[in-house]
Amino acid sequence: MSYIVPIGPYHPALEEPVHAKLYTEGEVIKEAEVFVGYNHRGIEKLATERNAIQTLVLVERVCGICSHSHALTYAMAVEAINGTEVPKRGEYIRVITAELERLHSHFLWLGIACHIIGHDSMFMHIWDERELVMDLLEKMTGNRVNYAMVTIGGARRDISDDLRREILDACDKLKGPLDRITEIALTDKTIAMRTKGVGILTREDALRLGAVGPHARASGVDIDVRRDAPYCSYGDFEFDIPVVDSGDVFARVVVRALECYESIKILRQALENLPAGPINLGNKLVKIKEGQAVARHEAPRGQLSHMVVGNNSLTNYRVSIHVPSYKNTPTVPHMLRNNTVADAGLIIASIDPCFSCLDR
């Protein structure tokens, strides 16, 4: 018997609106389609009427979880057009915020994955640890989301010496819980049974379909913008890029858990060697010079790029935002094939989708 099973746009297993159509034979999915666009807000169009500072505020609202990534990438694109040299301390503060954001995003996803798997005690445990990171971000920036830490030409707020030591202490504090979480994720039978061999994306498919970020690294593709095209002083730090070959949902759990260790490694180096000096170039409203630039940043979910065209005026001529979920969502139908309907929610969630990013 063949059925068409619709999932969404609003569904308990999905945090954001997406519509999937599953063509099934009994329990097995034979073909799948994904429909997006339920959150299209026309942010690219709105950005053409705003100046650089207003656009920073606007692009931060593209996504709630990786808001710093958007502001950072837009600022990098404008700085590339204008040829602005950012002070070293400003760059380090940007890196610290970006890595704290990656930590909280990965904790969030690991929690949600455990919730969908049915391991709710693990979900609560992980989100408890996430609060430690969220408290640090709140203390540093004043907000739990939309940090507003970036300005054109540097960082908006400084990190005091007390706060610096507090974040370093928190890095030590996180080590124990992270070890425990990784151990449970790697050895727990419930997680293994629900995730091993489910939703496989092979290395060839990942390359052909253009998957990015932890999703691609779980399929054995070794890419990371932080290492391949260094920006914001990322070249100063030593870190590894975890790559797993199996390409199933289990591999995605492992890659994200291991990436948390690397983020802590980068945080520690950045905080210990935080250079003295100014954090930005003052609060003057800048003109965007004539020209075009693309800036890329490794957001928690993968490569994020902003294209900005300037026209020697205060407003943008064109802003084009290209997010990691834009690359990862089209791979979902390939992963759904020959899996059961019961696993569909987990497979869709396994790419860490962000549909408000995707629709813009």
Binding mask 6-25 for other proteins (x = CB under 8 A): --------------------
Q: Which of residues 135-174 bind other proteins (CB under 8 A)?
A: none
- Minimum distance of other proteins from residue 262's CB (angstroms): 19
**Other beta carbons within 10 Å of 336:** 24
CB of 319 to other proteins, least distance (A): 9
Q: Count CA atoms within 13 Å of residue 263 on its CB side.
A: 29
Q: What is the token pair recorded at 129?
A: 């640890």
Rounded Cα gap, residues 213 and 291, in angstroms: 29
Residues from 325 through 344 that contact other proteins (CB under 8 A):
326-327, 330-331
CB closer to other proteins out of 64 and 330: 330
Determine the Cα–Cα distance for residues 100 and 69; give it in Å rounded to an integer.
Answer: 11
Q: Is residue 188 a contact residue for other proteins (CB under 8 A)?
A: no
Site track for other proteins across 96-135, x = CB under 8 A:
----------------------------------------
Please identify, using beta-carbon distances, which residue of 253 and 304 lies nearer to other proteins. 304
Largest CA distance in the chain: 69
> Judged by CB, which is closer to other proteins: 48, or 246?
48
Q: How far is the CB of 176 from other proteins (least distance, A)?
A: 37
Name which of 62 and 140 has its Cβ closer to other proteins: 62
DSSP bridge partners of 321: 306
In DSSP notation, 163-222 reads HHHHHHHHHHHHHHHHHHHHHHHHH-HHHHHHHTTSS---HHHHHHHT--HHHHHTTT--
Q: Is 196 in the site for other proteins (CB under 8 A)?
A: no
Tokens of 67: 């808001």
Tell me which residue of 215, 186, 189 sits closest to 203, measured CA to CA: 215
CB 336 within 8 A of CB 347: yes
What residues from 200 to 259 belong to the interface with other proteins (CB under 8 A)? 207-210, 212, 223, 228-231
Helices (H), 231-331: 249-272, 324-328
The pattern of x and - marking residues 265 through 294 that bind other proteins according to CB under 8 A reads ---------------------------xxx
- CA separation for the pair 226, 237 (Å, rounded): 10
Give the tokens for residue 8: 């969404």
Taking each helix axis as running N to C, give the angle between helix 161-187 and helix 88-117, from 0 to 180 degrees, rounded to the nearest 10: 30
The minimum distance between CB 251 and other proteins, in angstroms, equals 20
Could you say whether residue 320 binds other proteins (CB under 8 A)? yes
Q: How many residues bind other proteins (CB under 8 A)?
A: 42
Angle at CA of residue 276, ends 274 and 279, nearest 5°: 90
The binder of other proteins chosen from 69, 280, 305, 339 (CB under 8 A): 305
Binding map of other proteins across residues 33-72, x = CB under 8 A, - = no contact: --xxx--x-x-xxx-xx-----------------------
> Given the rule CB under 8 A, which residues bind other proteins?
35-37, 40, 42, 44-46, 48-49, 76, 79-80, 207-210, 212, 223, 228-231, 292-296, 303, 305, 307, 309, 311, 317-318, 320, 322, 326-327, 330-331, 359
